[in-house]
Amino acid sequence: MNVDPQLDALFKPKSIAVVGASRKPGKIGYEILRNLIEYGYKGKIYPVNPQAKEILGLKCYKSVKDVPDEIDMAVISIPAQIILDVVKDCGEKGIKALVVITSGFSEVGNVELEEKLVKTARSYGMRILGPNIFGIVYTPHDMNATFGPKDVIKGGIAFITQSGALGIALMGWTILEEIGLSAVVSMGNMADIDAIEVAEYLADDPNTKVITIYLEGLKPGKGREFIESMKKVTMKKPVIIVKSGRSERGAAAAASHTGSLAGSDLIYDVAMKQCGVLRALNIEEMFDWARALATQPLAKGNNTVIITNGGGAGVMATDAAVDYGVELLDPPQDLKEEFRKYMPWFGSAKNPVDLTGMATPDKYYEAVRAAFKHPAVHTITVLYCRTAVCDPMELAKMLIETRKEAINKGINKPISVAMIGGVDVYEAMKHLNRNGIPAYPIPERAVSAIAAIIKYSMYVKRGK
């Protein structure tokens, strides 16, 4: 892939100018500067505002041209009417990439100004993210150059979003749900850099394990490029896309929203299948899968074992496995006998393996260890209903321990967990998530996550 090295200036700038920095809390030009400072960006930050001497303790400049040092990237939030002059200044200063927050371009019919914006930037060799965006985050470099929530949690998921409002809102949601991100990229009008190029860049980013994209539509004529590009990206790491506007009515709404031609959904659907993109139906599903794919290895096959302490949960997971095309392994005799050791006589060593409500954390530990150990098992889903004899946090710690031991022995298999219960169960799930085991509040979501891993693993296997 020919990724523009200029994109490095977007994700890993050594210095940033905030053009349109403001002294007034609540203003976009203030919030971006504050996020940059408080999230801990280590490079140089230069606020630019002709009216101010100092903002948030930083010396302020009248123009980027007055800054004595080199600048890699500029975040621009000034009125659209005066943007061309500022872009020229940036070009003359030798800035490499522009993050154009400003709106009032093609999204409101002002196509001409947008074209001029790109042309001007390109004439200086600059690349543009935006316009009409909320900014960019790259957590490995402690850079939060957005006016969204500040305390983005670090992790392996990159999130690319064509919708601004949704993107900002989801940033907050990832913090609440403790979903760790490597990057957040607001795409806006995609006047220059588009989602394909960003995905290509992140495919080679060692800090990104999974790429998630909220997409409403590509520019006309981009279909083939999308397929060719994604084929390469998905061989490097999983890509999950929510492509909204699935219905005709939804597509019409999307067209009036971003101005992009949503196109026939069937075409997108076929295209995504063809290039190994996992298509999620909604954002919950997208991040459910992403959390699993960011932490779990590829699956060697489709043979799954479900281990539960509640028959009902096991039945629901079994239904979900059939729905999602996950194969429930009929455990071989030796494995069955092993499972039998960790359950009372009225348990079930068939799959779902029912340890019964009498299961204590150590029984789970042993059963899951057996599943890790046995070569016939490719993936594992653990279900837990809150019982008095099995403390959820203790169970979480046991599961983390079993997995660690297996990995130390060179055995790594995808595992997902579902835990049903109250506050203490919620805390145990958080603990699992923080320690590399994706946990969900209902069995179906845990199985769906495993299904996504299997689907992606099989695609990669076929492609190699």
Going by C-beta distance under 8 Å and a sequence separation of 6 or more, which residues neighbour residue 106?
Answer: 114, 189, 191, 259
- Token pair, residue 45, equals 């930050």
* Of the residues 281, 325, 341, 409, which one makes contact with its own copies according to CB under 8 A: 281
Helix extents (H) in 190-343: 195-203, 223-236, 248-258, 265-274, 283-295, 311-324, 333-340
Going by C-beta distance under 8 Å and a sequence separation of 6 or more, which residues neighbour residue 440?
Answer: 288, 416, 417, 418, 419, 429, 446, 449
Q: How far apart are CA 26 and CA 22, in angstroms?
A: 9
Query: Which CB atom, from 89 or from 107, has the smaller least distance to its own copies?
Result: 107
Task: Please tell me whether residue 388 binds its own copies under the rule CB under 8 A.
Answer: yes
Query: Which CB atom, from 182 or from 304, has the smaller least distance to its own copies?
Result: 304
Query: Which CB atom, from 311 or from 436, has the smaller least distance to its own copies?
Result: 311
Residue 5 Cβ vs its own copies, minimum distance, rounded to whole Å: 31
- Token pair, residue 181, equals 């991100």
* Of the residues 58, 153, 169, 261, which one makes contact with its own copies according to CB under 8 A: 169
Residue 332 Cβ vs its own copies, minimum distance, rounded to whole Å: 18
Task: Please tell me whether residue 312 binds its own copies under the rule CB under 8 A.
Answer: yes
* Of the residues 142, 311, 400, 460, which one makes contact with its own copies according to CB under 8 A: 311
Q: How far apart are CA 193 and CA 191, in angstroms?
A: 7
Task: Please tell me whether residue 229 binds its own copies under the rule CB under 8 A.
Answer: no
The beta-strand segments (E) located in 107-204 are 127-129, 135-138, 143-146, 154-161, 181-186
Residue 190 Cβ vs its own copies, minimum distance, rounded to whole Å: 14
Query: Which CB atom, from 167 or from 276, has the smaller least distance to its own copies?
Result: 167
Task: Please tell me whether residue 244 binds its own copies under the rule CB under 8 A.
Answer: yes
Within 13 Å and on the Cβ side, how many CA atoms surround 244? 19
Task: Please tell me whether residue 436 binds its own copies under the rule CB under 8 A.
Answer: no
Tell me which residues in 402-421 interact with its own copies (CB under 8 A): 420-421
* Of the residues 315, 393, 400, 458, which one makes contact with its own copies according to CB under 8 A: 315
Task: Please tell me whether residue 266 binds its own copies under the rule CB under 8 A.
Answer: no
Query: Which CB atom, from 264 or from 282, has the smaller least distance to its own copies?
Result: 282
* Of the residues 172, 297, 301, 436, which one makes contact with its own copies according to CB under 8 A: 172
- Are 45 and 75 in contact by the 8 Å Cβ rule? The answer is no
* Of the residues 318, 381, 416, 457, which one makes contact with its own copies according to CB under 8 A: 318
Task: Please tell me whether residue 173 binds its own copies under the rule CB under 8 A.
Answer: yes
Q: How far apart are CA 202 and CA 294, in angstroms?
A: 14
Q: What share of the chain is helix, strand, coil (3-state, %, to 5)?
A: 45, 20, 35
